[in-house]
Amino acid sequence: MTELAAKPGSCKSLREDGSLILSRVLEDSEIEDLMSALSRIDKSGAVRSRGGMYAVRNLLRLSPIVNELAHSPKMSSIVEEHLGDSAFPVRGTLFDKTSTANWLVPWHQDLTICVESRLDVAGYGPWTLKAGVRHVQPPTSVLERMLSLRVHLDDCDENNGALRVLPGTHQAGRLTSDQIAMQRRAVVPVTCSAAAGDVVLMRPLLVHASSAAVNAAHRRVIHIDYASSQLDGGLKWAP
């Protein structure tokens, strides 16, 4: 596999900044195959807003082609560079912004994981149930050993709700809402503009947000979470 280049103008270091954009990871034919397959998946459990679908959970289970992508040598080589060769995908979600599902996401950290079943283990909680799958907030140490890959199927910039990040905030650990507000005042945000085929790497603890789209068009992103360690007390990652 040829070496992938960081996108000009993006954060330059995943370690220091908490995010990184890789240019043209997917070919046009791969994007077309993914979009065709995603148009046919079961969307009965989709998350909707004002009548429009904006997210599909459990994507690794619902879509064989996304599951194959998550385990592919192309994605694995990216993840293993940062998490080691023991890394494995644990969750997949499809996000989209359209004229009927145009939402904003306030500044936050990604703090939950999906598990097979609920077990009351110290350091894990609170618990929620989403699309039939148990979600829980794990210890910070688990989140620090995770990496998210956002695979862009459409061009995405500040006009159609691109991801915005506060570089370096992943190094501050789990933050309260007040601490996030302080980081928002202290750190200059960066917009992660990406073209179709680009992949955005992001640490879950990085403070991030996205605005509603000004020009609402499809902004399809396959979000895949990877982990590099097993869980405590008999808890298991959701299959």
Domain 14-227 has CATH 3.40.50.720: no
125 Cβ neighbours under 8 A, 6+ residues apart: 136, 137
pLDDT, position 81? 95
Distances (CA, A) of 67 to 9, 90, 144, 164: 31, 10, 23, 26
Q: Are the CB atoms for 113 and 142 separated by under 8 Å?
A: yes
Token digits of residue 137: 């907030």
Q: Are the CB atoms for 21 and 12 separated by under 8 Å?
A: no
DSSP letter, residue 117: S
Question: Which stretch of DSSP H or E encloses residue 77?
Answer: helix 73-83
Domain assignments of the chain as residue spans, ordered by start: 14-227
pLDDT-based confidence at residue 160 (cuts at 50, 70, 90): confident
Stretch among 52-56, 78-82, 206-210 having the lowest mean pLDDT:
52-56
pLDDT, position 42? 78
Give one DSSP letter per residue of 5-72, joined into a string.
PBPTTS-S-HHHHSEEEES--S-HHHHHHHHHHHTTS--TT-EEETTEEEEE--HHHH-HHHHHHHHS
What are the φ/ψ torsions at residue 130 (nearest 5 degrees)? Answer: -130, 125
Mean pLDDT to the nearest integer, 156-163: 86
DSSP letter, residue 86: T
Beta partners for residue 146, in sequence order: 227
pLDDT-based confidence at residue 4 (cuts at 50, 70, 90): low
What are the φ/ψ torsions at residue 195 (nearest 5 degrees)? Answer: -95, 160
**For residue range 64-97, what is the model confidence (pLDDT) as tens digits?**
999 999 999 999 999 999 999 999 999 999 988 7
